[in-house]
A and B are shown apart, each in its own frame.
Chain A
Amino acid sequence: MIIALAGQQNSGKSTIFNQLAGYRAVTSNFPGKTVQYTKSQVNYHGKVFDIVDLPGTYSLTSFDLAELESRKYLLKGEVDVVINVIDASLLSRSLELTKQLMELEIPLVLCLNFMDDARRKGIHINTKKLSEVLGVPVVSAIAVKGIGIQELIEESLKAGEQKELGKSLSFSKDVEKVVEDLAVKVSILAKEWNVPERFLAMKLLEGDEYFLTKIEDVKILEEITHAQKILEKSHGRPSDVVISSERHALAINIFDEVATVGKLGITFRDKLDKVLMHQYLGYVFLALILYLFFNIVFSLGAVIESPIINFFEKSVIPAARVRLGTGLAQYLFIGVIQGFAGGIGIVLPYLIPFLIGLAVMEDAGYLPRIAFLMDTFLHRMGLHGKSILPLILGYGCNVPAVMGTRILESDRDRYITAVLATMVPCAARTTIILGLVAFFISPAAALGIYILNIVVIALSGTLLARIMPEITPGLILEVPRYQIPSVKVVLNKTWLRTKEFVFIAWPLLIAGSAVLSFLEYYKMDMAINQILYPLTSLLLGLPMVVGITLIFGILRKELAMVMLIQTLGTSHVLDVMSRTQIMTFVVFVTFYIPCIATIAVLIQELGKKRAGFVIIFTTIMATVMALLIRIVGELYGY
């Protein structure tokens, strides 16, 4: 039996999933084309079944990639029961999704989560009556405390066995007639696509692009337009508004029938939002919170990093040298070990604390507030507030950041944000900035690079938005309640994002290291230095030997520094390079071509052509910025 969890974002779906999966046998992640969903095999008192956690969806329309993916999965016909998780304190809005899910004609169990919150808000829900009105089982739950989980499992199993569908809830007469008439006309298509005909008719009336573009028969298309016209004429509004308003009215009616609302005073949330979302104070706190966040992550990272690096540098690699002699095999082996160590040396210390911190901010409800605050600026650039989230993720690792652009609605916004995300200094680049600039010049200069980086990203964003002058869909984002994050959900999210690094970035990192050893063994570095001479020495005024380090940096960013020290033959970089040269080098490395793992993800997410554009764009940006630093530096005689 397969039980799917569906619900709106912030409904506590993930918490329910993790509670259910407490009985788990196996958990695996499905990479859908655009979103991942988690499947878990559960053994509950000897009954074995699968639960699938679908991405959060507000409705079953076809705009959002996640929503489309959820819908496709539900329509595949594999699901035996849908558990619709809803935030009980948002009952009336949530019922609109419930109605759509019921139209899929799959047995449904309604789970009212956050019952305590609803009660605190003065909302009293008669669950028995709700169950009668909808004709489906209703279970109250407080997922974080594990309340209601057993009942939810039992009701779901029962629903799966009995295969009973909920009541069909009708719209007002005239609309209902149009829906039914159209349902008959598209019944052949519905059968062919294995979609309930009423659901299909409704979606067509809503102008659903996914279904509409699949229809080839001109006659049916005419019928659809005709039906849409009837609704438009009789209601004076576009047909999609008519349908959604009907659903809305139905939900409100049900709500009024089963729930009573008391009066509510000023809540903790209101007080906190007065400060955190204040038009000036909000930014002060944002800066403070992010400063603390990065400070904790990187000081924690530094503590863990050195013993790990030391272990590999001092124990593993010398041991390998002794055993394998000085042939190609030794070079390759050391390359692989270094790639492996680089992963452990960066991922464990920096990425994981970063992702945990981010998941905490996300689950606590702060990220949407950041999006709200940043919308003011991003809107000016021609993007909107949600773009900030992948960009922040970029400070950890660009790979999940590029993947994170999927939360954006329009293709153009995803593209621009992905380009910008690759310019954000990730954990690996941060080690270079700290190791070279903060160490040899000054911490203030390092901070300067970060500020320069933000300015350049803002300018690039503005530029790209002008080049692609499509109007951004604009910010529409729910600002959820504040919450104490659940440890399980935070760890789960961290793992999902870490996995993107472990399975995509890390193997490429190791392969890259091996290639580098190969180049080294055959002494190809001289040739590369020669080729890059015009860029490195003539244009940027750097020592010629840095050429090879730039190639290394593409394969693995942090190697640019390691190799720099190695090729210079001294760790006293200041003896051989001026301050200006160090700054120029680091600025170039910060901005130029993303690492090979990021390129791979860019190709996967955006296609080859656009990934190629990113490479060219970032190289130009890096050259311009580095040149600027060189000119300014030499002018002031550093």
Chain B
Amino acid sequence: MAPGARVVDIMPRLDQVQEGNKVKVREIRGGRSVRQRLAEMGIHPGDIVGIIRSSVFGGPLLIDIRDSEVAIGRSVAQKIEVEVVD
């Protein structure tokens, strides 16, 4: 690494993750309403979710969160910062 270069932490967002991956939710950006509606579905920072389906045409994602499946619109997924696990 060049001297003086900084490690920039680029966090992928949920909508950028490929189908079949498991990710850990890092942060949920966006307003209180989105945060709380996600929390109602059992999705909070720190939770592990699996991506069952992520359509290529800007459609919604289908994710797996502790035995339940939730459809999440792309605009919502863009607000969720994640890190890929295993």
Give chain A's interface residues, CB within 8 Å of chain B.
58-59, 61, 63, 89-90, 92-93, 96, 121, 123, 206-207, 237-238, 240-241, 244-245, 248, 273, 277, 279, 368, 371-372, 375-376, 379-380, 384-385, 409, 471-479
Cβ distance B16 to chain A, nearest Cβ, rounded Å: 16
Evaluate contact between B62 and A241: CB separation under 8 angstroms: no
Chain A CB within 8 A of B41 CB: yes
Evaluate contact between A93 and B41: CB separation under 8 angstroms: yes
Evaluate contact between A475 and B39: CB separation under 8 angstroms: no
Q: Range of interface residues on chain B?
A: 35 or more
Evaluate contact between B59 and A277: CB separation under 8 angstroms: no
Give chain B's interface residues, CB within 8 Å of chain A.
28, 32-42, 44-47, 52-53, 55-60, 62, 65-76
Name the one of B37, B45, B72 contacting A245, with C-beta atoms under 8 angstroms.
Answer: B45
Evaluate contact between B76 and A93: CB separation under 8 angstroms: no
CB closest residue in chain B, given A261: B67
List residues of chain B with CB within 8 A of the CB of A89.
Answer: 67
Evaluate contact between A476 and B39: CB separation under 8 angstroms: no
Cβ distance A65 to chain B, nearest Cβ, rounded Å: 13
List residues of chain B with CB within 8 A of the CB of A241.
Answer: 28, 35, 39, 44-45
Cβ distance B26 to chain A, nearest Cβ, rounded Å: 11
Evaluate contact between A379 and B67: CB separation under 8 angstroms: no
Evaluate contact between A473 and B44: CB separation under 8 angstroms: no
Residue of B32, B41, B67 ringed by the most chain A CB atoms within 10 A: B67
Name the one of B39, B62, B73, B76 contacting A479, with C-beta atoms under 8 angstroms.
Answer: B62
List residues of chain B with CB within 8 A of the CB of A61.
Answer: 36, 40
Evaluate contact between A409 and B33: CB separation under 8 angstroms: yes
20 contacts between A and B (CB under 8 A): A58-B40, A58-B41, A96-B39, A96-B42, A240-B32, A241-B39, A248-B44, A277-B62, A279-B53, A279-B55, A279-B57, A371-B71, A375-B73, A379-B59, A379-B75, A409-B37, A474-B34, A474-B74, A478-B70, A479-B69
- Complex CA gap A479/B45 in Å reads 21
- Complex CA gap A551/B9 in Å reads 65
Evaluate contact between A476 and B58: CB separation under 8 angstroms: no
Are A476 and B70 also in contact (CB < 8 A) when A279-B59, A379-B58, A379-B75 are? Answer: yes
Are A479 and B71 also in contact (CB < 8 A) when A376-B55, A385-B60 are? Answer: yes
Name the one of A90, A207, A273 contacting B67, with C-beta atoms under 8 angstroms.
Answer: A90
Cβ distance B36 to chain A, nearest Cβ, rounded Å: 5
List residues of chain B with CB within 8 A of the CB of A375.
Answer: 59-60, 71, 73
Evaluate contact between B41 and A376: CB separation under 8 angstroms: no
Evaluate contact between A244 and B39: CB separation under 8 angstroms: yes
Name the one of A238, A244, A379 contacting B74, with C-beta atoms under 8 angstroms.
Answer: A379
Evaluate contact between A240 and B36: CB separation under 8 angstroms: yes
Residue of B34, B37, B40, B70 ringed by the most chain A CB atoms within 10 A: B40
Evaluate contact between B68 and A90: CB separation under 8 angstroms: yes
List residues of chain B with CB within 8 A of the CB of A237.
Answer: 45
List residues of chain A with CB within 8 A of the CB of B36.
Answer: 59, 61, 63, 206, 240, 244
Evaluate contact between A476 and B41: CB separation under 8 angstroms: yes
Residue of A58, A376, A379, A475 ringed by the most chain B CB atoms within 10 A: A475
- Complex CA gap A409/B73 in Å reads 14
Evaluate contact between A473 and B33: CB separation under 8 angstroms: yes
Evaluate contact between A478 and B68: CB separation under 8 angstroms: yes
Are A376 and B60 also in contact (CB < 8 A) when A63-B33, A477-B70 are? Answer: yes
CB closest residue in chain A, given B42: A93
- Complex CA gap A89/B53 in Å reads 22
Name the one of A244, A273, A478, A479 contacting B44, with C-beta atoms under 8 angstroms.
Answer: A244
Evaluate contact between A376 and B57: CB separation under 8 angstroms: yes
Evaluate contact between B39 and A248: CB separation under 8 angstroms: yes
Residue of B35, B42, B59 ringed by the most chain A CB atoms within 10 A: B59
- Complex CA gap A212/B48 in Å reads 33
- Complex CA gap A288/B69 in Å reads 24
Residue of A58, A240, A372, A472 ringed by the most chain B CB atoms within 10 A: A372
